[in-house]
Amino acid sequence: MPMRDRSKLPLRPVAPVWAMMAGLALLSACKQPPASRIDADAAAAARGLSAMETVGCGACHEIPGLDWPKGRTAPSLVGFDDIGPIAGQLANTPANLAAFVRNAPAAKPGSLMPAMPLSESEARDVAAYLYRIDDD
Amino acid sequence: MKSETGFDHALYDLFPVREPRPEGEVEELNRIWAAPRGWGLMTVVNNNYIGFFYVAAAFLFFLLAGILALGMRIQLAAPLQEFLPQGTYNQFFTMHGTIMMFLFAVPAVEAIGILLLPQMLAARDLPFPRLSAYAFWAYLVGGLFFFASLFVGLAPDGGWFMYPPLTSITYSPGINTDFWLLGIGFIEISAIAGAVEIIVGVLRTRAPGMTLDRMPMFAWAMLVFAVMIVIAFPSVILGTLLLEIERAFNWPFFDPTRGGDPLLWQHLFWFFGHPEVYIIFLPAAGLMSMMVATVARTPLVGYRLNVLALVATGFISFGVWAHHMFATDMPRVSAGYFSAASMAVSLPAGIQVFCWIATLASGKIRWSTPALFVVGSIVLFTMGGLTGVMLGMVPFNWQVHDTYFIVAHLHYVLLGGMVFPMFAAFYYWNGMTSRNPLSERLGKWVFWLMFTGLNVTFLPMHLTGFMGMPRRVYTYLPDRGLDVLNLTSTVGAFILAAGIALFLIDLARNFRFTTEHDAGNIYGGGTLEWLPTGLYSTRSIPLVRSREPLWDDPRMCEDVAEGRYFLPNSATGLRETIITSPVNAEPQYLQLMPGPSPFPVAAAIFTAFFFLSLTIQAYSFAVFSGIVATLCVLRWLWETDRPIHITEAEIGGGITIPIAITGPTSHGWWALNTMMAVIGMIALMGLFSHLYLYGIHPEVWIAPPGLAQTAGIAGVLALAFLSALASRRVLAGHDAGTFPGQGPWLLTVLGAGLLAGALYWDVTGWQAAGLSPAASGQGATVFALLAFQGCLVAVAIIMAGYLGYRSGRGLLTPPANVTLDVVVRFIGFASLQGAVISLLPRIFPGG
Amino acid sequence: MLEPLWGWPPPVLDPAGPYAEKVTVLAWALFAMGLLVTGVVIVALWVAIKGPPWIKSKLGGEKVVWIGGVAFPAVVLTILLVWGLTLTASLTQGITGKETRIRVTGEMWWFRVQYLGPNGEVILNDANEIHLPVGEPVVLELRSADVIHSFWVPHLSGKKDMIPGRKLFLRVQADKAGRYGGVCAEYCGGPHALMGFVAVAHERAAWEGWLAERHAAQAAAPAGPAMPGRRIFLESGCGACHRVAGTEANGLIGPDLTHVGSRLTLGAGILPNNHGTLMGWIGDSQSIKPGNRMPSYSMLPAEKLDAIADWLGRQK
């Protein structure tokens, strides 16, 4: 259970450290995220954040823009714009991400993340928000 | 002036003496008072060293607890920070409070007293130098062990007030809580030892002519301080004993299911805890009064009012403890009483503040670092005092109690009322112990950084409290408007810390410890500590004719150094000081003082081991350490009651006084009285606990054993009392120089044995009546009282044995002997106290 | 999102009921007094140090001490004391016994709430939420199940401790319908910082409706009787600590979950209540509120968490 195990470490890398490391990496490599990600619709992203608040994603994830709760059961989403494949397996596309946040076990069998009560459009909004996270 | 002791005041006119003193006297004084060198310095007992070590150790604990505070402020700088995990934070705030209150504040003022008082009173040393050394080493070793518990995650985490049942074995099963009780145990020992030292020192070792009305204000403050310790500390001593017994043996003092009550702890703790605040504040106020006079270059306005204020504060402070408990739902009348008393205690504080202001107005201030700290302290203390008045208002208290408003209040009071005066004192009296003065330039920076930092840290906390932020929280949720205020407080804490760091730099650059070539009277003080001194204090002990003798008699320094006053030499070739009468300070007799010895420090270290191994449950090592510590104490006492071959000495001007007397005028008599007051207070608080629990849960009470048995026990105790008295009678019946036989010490053995017998009868009687200590609040308190009596009996037996050994060595000299006197009076006291402890629970409440 | 129910503006100065309001007036007066006296002392200090000689000579005597240090404070303190004692008396008026009575028990680290009937019998079990009717005093019977806690809703009244072995009474009254935050104010170990609750004031009729609704729910079978979440909830042993009326789950150690779906918060006033937070709390409450008494059910797979949360969310 690699995801849960992280929460058992006594000292977890703290969000700002991650952000800083990501920032340093960017400075050195000048890597730009794919255009499709940052161009996500701002209104959709705002709806996505409020949907995440409503269904309580924060109970397990630390999510930039969500003050509380900041759960530690699942990976932090700080620096999400810089991650590779979703959950380590799925190609990092908006459609895949939307499907994953809505019903993770269906998108990736064996996932520890439960399905969330999000409509398809809400899931797209959530994905839009996640892609707009910019901690650099 | 009327003579107090029959000493003719006309003799004072002989001083300063005009005839030159013989050569070599100063060299002899230097030789007699020389401090051991190298590792031998561990055995030093002189107040110049012990006082300095003591201040340094207290300051170390101040820094350590301050670092903990910075950790806490980082954690609270933003909501939901993860700098300190919950458990660690809880340990941090518990240790911060405990160390600041117990290991810094009380020892620091006591340490300053030990360092300054002998010089201020122009005594050669405090009357019991070895006791000071013991108290210091026990405190240092114990305190360091206590602090080290943090590094292994075993530090206490129940708050500095340790409220049960949170601290009971059920909810705090680890030994963390026991470490708290351990740490407190040391400070209890050293505080009591210091109190004995200071009471006797202030009342009996003042320079001739220094009547109570001419005493430096700090000496007055320390006298009140020491008396308050004697009354207040027994309450916390008893409380910690009861809590430890409940944890270790399951006796239900605080467990409501078996007739205990959690509020009993709060009463015991705050009966100590609130006077504690004044115990810390009064000595600092005494320092303030002296420094204000010097920086304003004029005598203190309202000297007598100020003394009155000190004494009144002491009295009233014992009537305010329950204002920490308004939220526990007390009857309206009690709440009203405690509210009124809490208001009343601000009157003497107001008197002092206006005395200082009036003094500044009547003189002309010379700006210096101490002046800045003094003025800053007045402002800060006033602010803290005013929030204190607010808190005395019951309805307001219900709202802000246990919020950050309280945190703000107490830090203004303690930093403004104690830490700022202490820093002023560091600069002001630095000239007594350092070769170089501290930097005035850096000092001004230190002040402004500390003053700014304090306000930036604690002013916003008034508001966070109003916003609803409770105390003792390791984190808080976002979106409540608390973020900016808390961040501000954190920034302020670091500004305050920067000020203190700068002070450390100043110390590193300029402070060089010395006992002889000191920087001297930089700020122009007028009291005796600014006379030229060596390790023996002043060469001759001046006659004091006013409150600021150095201002009034410009030639005094020279006269003192040339030996034109009392005791310009060593009259006996030993360490000695003049004991004077308590009111008018008329010379009474010459006390011989002990020199360096390894036994106080060894006793202290083994006392520390004893408590430590009890805490970590290494019981066999605890027994071993306890025995070694006891032997060390006896060995150290062995040397202190030496047979004297000369009985009188000349102390200058042709005046002769006796040497080393016994009886009610002796300083040892006063010290034992003080000790007995402490023991009696512990018993009194124990009886209070007993009756209190009866008031709360009478339903678990059983009927006491029959009256016949009770009368029998009283009879045995009466016999013990009589046999102790008889022992002294027998010794007094012999002429000096003859062998008193075995009678005196055997009678004390009989007395101790009777005490033990009465106790055995008492315990078995209760057991036969069906009382068991773990069963009910009644059983717990009755057996706790008897266990306490058991400790006294054990001490009495050891004392009687020790007396027998001395008798065998021919050291029991008729017609009067200090050791026998102590043993006899202790056994007499133990039988009287035993009678009260035994009779009260048996007669009332009658089941 | 979790409503920040206290914070800015400071609830002590923003009262919602008569008891808190009286203290607010007092608080402002005390501020004024504090500012005034601080001002007097600072001005006196300034004059004492920098003032012209003729004022300094007036300040530099014992008369000033008698006026500033004795007479002035004595007058101010006496006035305050009379006010304070009168106010204390009026705030601790006797309880008539006709008030609505709610028993609140402090537990490590949450609040058990029981609504009492006219004869002191428990008519409804709840947790971390206190519903009161507006405009009338409500008597809270404060108890503790373990260590000392302290009950505080700053908008409504001062605080009162919850002490093992004792039963203390606190009157509160809200004059405006609304939600008010509450906290435990006495350090009670571990996650004391995360022990809160919500007081909800309703108009009298709405409050009676709220109570009646809950009674109806108690009598009826629990929602979603056939849902898999119910089975998993019971199989996972949740019933050992929690009660859901109408099921075999009748544990009394933890909060009663009969109405958990309608609560405003989870985890004792610290989490918003929704599907995700319910799952997150069940799955790993220890990462949200370290040290709390509920173990993290991290062994439950995602589907089961989902199902339990789904079912619990329907228990309104």
What's the complex ipTM?
0.96
Decide if C48 and B358 are in contact by the 8 Å CB cutoff. Answer: yes
Q: Which residue of A8, A57, A61 to mutate against C (max C Cβ within 10 Å)?
A: A57
Find, among B592, B597, B594, the residue nearest to B572 by Cα: B592
According to DSSP, the β-strands at C160-162 and B576-580 are unpaired
Which chains share 3+ C-beta pairs under 8 angstroms with B? A, C
Q: Which residue has the tokens 């908008």?
A: C155
Flag whether residue B483 sits within 8 Å of chain A, measured between CB atoms: no
Find the closest chain B residue to A70 by CA distance.
B80
Q: Which amino acid is at B191?
A: A
B29 in Cβ contact with B534 (< 8 Å): yes
Looking at residue B534, its pLDDT comes to 85
Chains A, B: CB contacts within 8 A come to 13
* Chain A contact set for B79 (CB, 8 A): 67-68
Cα separation values, C254 from B442, C250, C278, Å: 59, 10, 15
Question: For residue B787, what are its two tokens?
Answer: 């266990």
Contacts of A60 (CB under 8 A, 6+ apart): A71, A72, A73, A74, A113, C276, C279, C280, C283, C284
Asked if residue A24 has pLDDT above 60, the reply is no
Flag whether residue B524 sits within 8 Å of chain A, measured between CB atoms: no
3-state secondary structure of C126: strand
Query: Chain-centre distance of CA A41, in angstroms?
Result: 17
**pLDDT profile of chain C (316 residues), mean per 10:** 87 94 95 94 94 90 91 93 91 85 96 93 94 95 96 96 95 95 95 96 96 82 86 93 92 93 94 94 93 92 92 92
User: What DSSP string runs through B197-240?
Assistant: HHHHHHHHSPPTT--GGGS-HHHHHHHHHHHHHHHHHHHHHHHH
| Integer Cα distance of B481 and B477 in angstroms | 10
Decide if C271 and A69 are in contact by the 8 Å CB cutoff. Answer: yes
Of C2, C58, C85, the CB nearest to B477: C2
Of C13, C69, C83, the CB nearest to B353: C69
- Across B33-69, b (16+ Cβ under 10 Å) vs e yields bebbeeeeebbbbbbbbbbbbbbebbbbbbebbbebb
B175 in Cβ contact with B154 (< 8 Å): yes
* Chain C contact set for A111 (CB, 8 A): 302
Find the closest chain C residue to A111 by CA distance.
C302
Supply angle C-alpha C77, C82, C86, rounded to 5. Answer: 145
Find the closest chain B residue to C157 by CA distance.
B399
Looking at residue A17, its pLDDT comes to 45
* DSSP-derived secondary structure letter, B257: G
C95 in Cβ contact with C139 (< 8 Å): yes
| Integer Cα distance of C137 and B452 in angstroms | 46
Supply angle C-alpha B94, B99, B100, rounded to 5. Answer: 105
CB atoms within 10 A of CB A14: 15
CA distance A29 to chain C (A): 35
Find, among C123, C133, C110, C127, the residue nearest to C214 by Cα: C123
Decide if B479 and A68 are in contact by the 8 Å CB cutoff. Answer: yes
Decide if C61 and B467 are in contact by the 8 Å CB cutoff. Answer: no
**Structural domains of chain A, ranges and CATH numbers in brackets:** 2-132 (1.10.760)
* Chain A contact set for B479 (CB, 8 A): 67-68
Q: Which residue of A6, A8, A12, A70 to mutate against B (max B Cβ within 10 Å)?
A: A70
Asked if residue A2 has pLDDT above 70, the reply is no
Flag whether residue B625 sits within 8 Å of chain C, measured between CB atoms: no
Chain A positions contacting chain B at CB under 8 Å are 12, 14, 67-68, 70
| Integer Cα distance of B684 and B232 in angstroms | 12
Of C23, C77, C270, the CB nearest to B346: C77
| Integer Cα distance of C128 and C265 in angstroms | 8
Supply angle C-alpha C239, C243, C244, rounded to 5. Answer: 105
Decide if C275 and A55 are in contact by the 8 Å CB cutoff. Answer: yes
Decide if A56 and C302 are in contact by the 8 Å CB cutoff. Answer: no
**Structural domains of chain B, ranges and CATH numbers in brackets:** 9-40+543-658 (no CATH), 41-510 (1.20.210.10), 674-843 (1.20.120.80)
Query: Chain-centre distance of CA B324, in angstroms?
Result: 23
| Integer Cα distance of B667 and B659 in angstroms | 12
* A6, HSE (Cβ side, Cα atoms, 13 Å): 13
Identify whether B275 is preceded by a cis peptide bond (ω within 30 of 0): no
Find the closest chain B residue to C169 by CA distance.
B329
Chain B stretch 309-368, residues whose beta carbon is closer than 8 A to a beta carbon of chain C: 327-329, 332, 335-336, 339-340, 343-344, 346-347, 350-355, 357-363, 365
| Integer Cα distance of B171 and B165 in angstroms | 7
Cα separation values, B59 from A21, B114, B150, Å: 41, 15, 19
Find the closest chain A residue to C301 by CA distance.
A112
Tens-place pLDDT, residues B258-275? 999 999 999 999 999 999
Find, among B15, B123, B9, B26, the residue nearest to B654 by Cα: B15
* Chain A contact set for C284 (CB, 8 A): 4, 7, 60, 71-73
Flag whether residue A56 sits within 8 Å of chain C, measured between CB atoms: yes
Alpha-helical (H) ranges within B47-126 are: 47-76, 86-98, 106-121
* DSSP-derived secondary structure letter, C99: S
Question: For residue B213, what are its two tokens?
Answer: 């009305």
Decide if C298 and A4 are in contact by the 8 Å CB cutoff. Answer: yes
pLDDT < 70 regions, chain B: 1, 846-847
Which chains share 3+ C-beta pairs under 8 angstroms with A? B, C
Find the closest chain A residue to C306 by CA distance.
A114
Residues β-bridged to residue B648: B658
Q: Which residue of C266, C275, C281 to mutate against A (max A Cβ within 10 Å)?
A: C275
B77 in Cβ contact with C281 (< 8 Å): no
* Chain A contact set for C271 (CB, 8 A): 56, 59, 69
Rg of chain A (C-alpha set): 14
Find the closest chain A residue to B82 by CA distance.
A14
Decide if A117 and C1 are in contact by the 8 Å CB cutoff. Answer: no
- 10 Å CB burial of residue B390 (0-12, 13-18, 19+) is buried
User: What DSSP string runs through C44-68?
Assistant: HHHHHHHS-HHHHHHHSSHHHIIII
Contacts of A130 (CB under 8 A, 6+ apart): A48, A77, A80, A81, A97, A101
Flag whether residue B479 sits within 8 Å of chain A, measured between CB atoms: yes
Contacts of B655 (CB under 8 A, 6+ apart): B11, B14, B566, B587
CA distance A68 to chain B (A): 7
Flag whether residue A34 sits within 8 Å of chain C, measured between CB atoms: no
* Chain C contact set for A101 (CB, 8 A): none
Supply angle C-alpha B658, B819, B596, rounded to 5. Answer: 75
| Integer Cα distance of C130 and B801 in angstroms | 68
Decide if B481 and C7 are in contact by the 8 Å CB cutoff. Answer: yes
Of C2, C26, C190, the CB nearest to B395: C26
Decide if B478 and A68 are in contact by the 8 Å CB cutoff. Answer: yes
CA distance C162 to chain A (A): 28
Decide if A67 and B79 are in contact by the 8 Å CB cutoff. Answer: yes
Flag whether residue B87 sits within 8 Å of chain C, measured between CB atoms: yes
Decide if C62 and B387 are in contact by the 8 Å CB cutoff. Answer: no
CB atoms within 10 A of CB C71: 12
Find the closest chain A residue to B477 by CA distance.
A68
Decide if C8 and B470 are in contact by the 8 Å CB cutoff. Answer: no
3-state secondary structure of B543: coil
Instruction: Go through chain A and tell me how many residues it has.
Output: 136
Find the closest chain C residue to A8 by CA distance.
C287
Of C4, C69, C183, the CB nearest to B354: C69
Looking at residue A7, its pLDDT comes to 38
* Chain A contact set for C281 (CB, 8 A): 59
A66 in Cβ contact with A53 (< 8 Å): yes
Of A4, A57, A69, the CB nearest to C288: A69
